[in-house]
A = this chain, B = another copy of it.
Amino acid sequence: MTLDKIAALKRTRLFEELDENTLRALAERAFERRFQKDEVLFVAGEEARGLYVIVEGAVRAFRVSLDGREQVIHVERAGATIAEVPVFDDGAYPSTAAAEEFTTVLFIDKRDVQHLCLQHPKITLAALKVLAGRLRRCAELVEALSLREVGQRLARFLLAEARRSGAPTENGISINLSQTNQQIAARIGSVREVVSRAFTRLQHDGLIIIEGRKLSIPDEAALEKFVGQA
């Protein structure tokens, strides 16, 4: 109910600073939707209707080539928002978005967001920071795609995963890979087979240790060094 919605909104960077009353009003106008894994929230090019707040789960924004290959632009998790760009510049959705796993979102009409921005400049400022961060990551991705090879991109991805969900152990950081090689490939801009080989290579070079879908990074600094160099 509304209480949950309020709590969910409160968890976002966009709305965390709003007072109780405004939050409640917003929550009443937000409505909840649930998506199964790989279900599509919206398609690139479609006229944008509103903002999505992720309550639970994860959403990927991506583009598809004619032959069906996907390139993920960014992935957002609980507490993040999706589709700010078209909400703020009144254009179409720039990418297609789909649930990475079972996901619950709150949908907020873009006019509600826009009104809110006019009344609460703090939201605009928060949105600015969110977009700035996204732009930084997007530039990173461009750099990686253009100037690094697959092995390095994979290593960078693993380092990011380690930071996000890794657990320290006696022999370095341990990660439980929740995504398939296919999904990883879509994120780092490659294909399944090449990712598989890159994993083998990293292990062979002693930079990671693979145990099924679990892996560990014995020496984070070494892996970082590998990412950094030509």
Partner of A65, one of B88, B128, B148: B148
**Does A21 lie at the interface of the complex (its beta carbon under 8 Å from any beta carbon of B)?**
no
The digit string for A129-146, where 1 denotes a CB below 8 A from any CB of B, is 101111110110111011
Which of under 10, 10 to 19, 20 to 34, or 35 or more describes the interface residues of A?
A: 35 or more
Closest approach, in angstroms, between the C-beta of A115 and any C-beta of chain B?
A: 12
Contact assessment for B133 and A230 in the assembled complex, using a CB-CB cutoff below 8 Å: no
User: Chain A: interface secondary structure?
Assistant: helix
Closest approach, in angstroms, between the C-beta of A8 and any C-beta of chain B?
A: 23
**Does A79 lie at the interface of the complex (its beta carbon under 8 Å from any beta carbon of B)?**
no
Closest approach, in angstroms, between the C-beta of A136 and any C-beta of chain B?
A: 5
Contact assessment for B136 and A85 in the assembled complex, using a CB-CB cutoff below 8 Å: yes
Closest approach, in angstroms, between the C-beta of A131 and any C-beta of chain B?
A: 4
Q: Report B-chain residues with C-beta under 8 Å of the C-beta of A133.
A: 89
Contact assessment for B136 and A135 in the assembled complex, using a CB-CB cutoff below 8 Å: no
Within 8 A of B (CB), among A101-144: 117-118, 121, 124-125, 127-129, 131-136, 138-139, 141-143
Question: Which residues of A approach B to under 8 Å, CB–CB?
Answer: 63-67, 69, 71, 73, 84-86, 88-89, 91, 94-95, 117-118, 121, 124-125, 127-129, 131-136, 138-139, 141-143, 145-148, 189, 229-230
